[in-house]
Chain A
C-alpha cells in the first residue's frame, strides 16, 4: 500500500499541486514568474475563446460519449437477442480503433476527409456529389467531422464493456421476461439496461473524460481550425504552455478542466452506478 501511495504522490499528486500553484502566477515558462493570485482564473472564465472551447467540448461529449453508448447498447441488444454468427470477430473489429495510437487514427481520417479523399470519391461515385465537402475545412462540418472520429474510436470500448456485462446477467431473468411475454424492446429496458448499470457508469465516465480532454486527434487533424471552429480546452493548454508562453493561464485552464472532470465523474458514479 505504501509504495503505491508514494508513486501516486510523486507522479500524480505532486504535479497536480505544482500545476495549481503555477496557475497563481504570470509565468512565461522561462524567466521568473510573478504572483497574480486568482486573476488567471478570472481571465480564463471571461475569455470568449476559452468559453468557446468548453462549448466545443460539450458537443464532443455527444460524439465521444452519447453516440458510442447508444450504438454500443443497440449492438449489445442485437447480439444478446440473436446469436450473431461471428459475434466475437465483430466485437474485435469494432474494438480495434481502441488499440490504435490516436495519431495514427488522426492521420488516417485526415486522409479520408480530404476534399479529394475516399469519402468524397464515394459520394461522387454514388451520385451524391452535391454532398461532397471540404469536411475539415468547412466551419460548419469541422467539429462534427472530428467528433465522428471520436465516435469511431470509443464505440468499441462501450460495446466490449456492455457485452461482458450482459454475460453476468442471469439467464433466468431473460427467461422470466419471455414467459411474461416481453418483446425484444421490453426485454431490453426491463432486463438488459438495468443489469448494465455498472458497465454504463464505467463507459460514461471513461468516454466523457475522453471527450473533455480530447487533444491528440484534433491536434493531428485541424489544430483547432478552421478559425477556432474545433478549438478545445486541452489544445489551448498546450498552446499557452508550450507555444505562447502563458504557462500560468494554461495551468488555470487545466485546473478548471480537472475540476469539471472530477465533478462529472462523481455525479456519473453516484447517479448511474448501482448501490450496494
Chain B
C-alpha cells in the first residue's frame, strides 16, 4: 500500500494543473480585437507594401478550382506586391471549420461563408466587416442584374434581421435550379421542351411508359430531393411568401396551401415512379454520373452539376427552368448568388482584400468562370460560350431571373437545423411515411423554434 501514496499525489497534482490549464472561462469570450469601420469608400490601396492575403474557399471541383487559381495569378500579376495564399477544402469540411477559423486571431483575410446560419453567426460575432463603402466605390450594387440579387447577403448589424440592412459579402458565382434534360432521349420519346407545367408532367408520364427513368435523383445524400421540392414550391406558392419565410420575417408560415400542393405533387411523382428506382438509396454522385452516361430524361439540380453532364454529353444536354403553370415566362424559381466572399474583421489588409474580391467577381472574372464551366454571378458579356450548350441556357436563365428579381431563396437557409428537418421530412414524404400536411407542419415547427 505504501507505494500508492506518491503515485496518487502525482496524479492529483497533474489533475489540478490540467484543470487550471483548461481555464474554465465562458466559452467564446476570448476573441481578438476587431475593427468595425464599415469600409472606406475608396478603391485604392498601398501598392508599394508587400502583402500576403490568405484566402479560404470551397471551390474544390476541378473547373471552379482552376478558375480560382487563374484569377489569383492575374491579380498577382496586376499587383506584384500582393501574394495570395489559397486554402481549399471540400464543402462539408469547409463549412464545419470556417467559423472556428474565422474566429482565430490569424483568420484568413478573405473567405467564403454561406447564406443563412453561417453568415448569421459571422455577422453576430463581428468576424466579418460590412462592405457598403466598398460596394459604392466598386459599383457592386449594379453588378449582379438587380440590387435585389444581393438581398441574401444583407443583414442588420446585430445579425438578427436578414434580407435587409448592410451588405456583408459578394459572390463570384450564381446558382439557378432547373431541369437538365437529355436532348437525344427527349427526341426519341417524341417530345419537345415543355413550356407549361402540365406539359412537363405529361413528359414524365411518357418517359415512364416507355421505360425511361423520368427524373434521376440520388437522395441518399438527403439534400437532392430538397431542390426538386423547392422548384415545385416556387410553382405553387407565392415567391414573396417563400422569401419572407426563409428570411425569418415575423408571421411567415410554411404551412400554406401552395406548400402542401407542392408536397402532394412530389409524393404523386414518387408514387407514379417518376423518380429513378430506389432513389433514396442512390448517392447523388452516382445518379449524376449515370445521367451523364445517358440514363434518364431529366435531372433537377443546379449549375454545379453542369460539368458532370456536359463533360460526357457535350451539347447533348440542355437546361430549362421549370415552366410555370400557364406557360408565362419569367416565373419564380429557386436560385441565388452562390457562396459569398467575406472580408475578415481580423484582417490587417482590408483594402487589399476588397480590391481582391472585386477582382474575382467582376466581368473579367465572369469570363474566366464561365470558360471553366461554371455560372458566374456577373454578366460575362459576349463570352466565348457555345450558344447550344447547357451552360449558355443556364446563364440565360440566371440573367433573366436575376434581372426580374424572381429568384426564391433556398429553404434550408431558414434555420440552423432546417437542412435535417426539411430533407429528412422529404425522405419520409417520398416513401409515404408522412402526409403533405404533417410534413408542412413539422417544417413550420422547426421554424417557430428559431423565429419566435
Contact = CB atoms under 8 A, between A and B. Distances in A.
Interface of A: 1-2, 5-6, 8-10, 13-15, 17-18, 21-22, 25, 27-35, 110-111, 113-116, 133-139, 142, 221-228, 238-239, 242-247
B53 to A, nearest CB: 23
A25 B29 CA distance: 12
Interface residues of B, number: 51
11 contacts: A25-B27, A27-B28, A110-B283, A113-B281, A134-B281, A138-B280, A223-B221, A225-B222, A226-B424, A245-B121, A245-B416
Interface of B: 7, 10-11, 14-15, 17-19, 21-22, 24, 26-29, 95-97, 99-100, 102-103, 117, 121-122, 124-125, 127, 219-222, 277-283, 286, 416-417, 419-420, 423-425, 427-428, 431, 433
Given A223-B221, A226-B427, A115 B96 contact: no
Contacts of B17: 9
Contact of B281 (A14, A28, A114, A227): A114
A31 to B, nearest CB: 5
Contact of A110 (B99, B219, B220): B220
A255 to B, nearest CB: 15
Contacts of A30: 28, 99, 102-103, 121-122, 124-125, 127
B433 A227 contact: yes
From A10, A18, A227, name the one whose CB has the most chain B CB atoms within 10 angstroms. Answer: A227
B125 to A, nearest CB: 4
Contact of A29 (B99, B219, B278, B281): B99
Contacts of A247: 27
A31 B28 contact: yes
B121 A226 contact: no
A17 B100 CA distance: 20
Contacts of A225: 220, 222, 280, 423-424, 427
A14 B425 CA distance: 39
B121 A28 contact: yes
A25 B279 CA distance: 40
A223 B427 CA distance: 13
A31 B280 contact: no
A182 B96 CA distance: 59
A196 to B, nearest CB: 32
Given A227-B424, A239-B420, A17 B19 contact: yes
Contacts of B125: 30-31
Contact of A115 (B19, B277, B417, B427): B277
Contacts of A116: 277-278, 282
Contacts of B29: 32-33
B26 A25 contact: yes
A92 B277 CA distance: 38
A148 to B, nearest CB: 14
Given A2-B10, A30-B103, A21 B22 contact: yes
A229 B96 CA distance: 23
A139 B433 CA distance: 9
A137 B280 contact: yes
B435 to A, nearest CB: 14
Contacts of A6: 14
Nearest to B11: A5
A115 B14 contact: no
Given A10-B18, A14-B21, A137 B28 contact: no
A9 B17 CA distance: 9
B28 to A, nearest CB: 5
6 closest A-B pairs by CB: A137-B281, A134-B278, A137-B280, A115-B278, A134-B281, A244-B416
A249 to B, nearest CB: 11
A21 B24 contact: yes
A238 to B, nearest CB: 8
Contacts of B102: 30
A13 B15 contact: yes
B240 to A, nearest CB: 27
A228 B17 CA distance: 42
Contacts of A246: 416
Contact of B27 (A8, A27, A135): A27
Given A27-B28, A227-B424, A245-B121, A5 B277 contact: no
Contacts of A110: 220, 283
Contact of B18 (A13, A136, A238): A13
A17 B220 CA distance: 37
A136 to B, nearest CB: 4
Contacts of B278: 115-116, 133-134, 137-138
Given A32-B28, A243-B96, 13 more contacts: A1-B7, A17-B24, A27-B27, A28-B28, A29-B100, A30-B122, A31-B28, A32-B29, A115-B278, A136-B281, A225-B222, A227-B433, A243-B419
Contacts of B103: 30
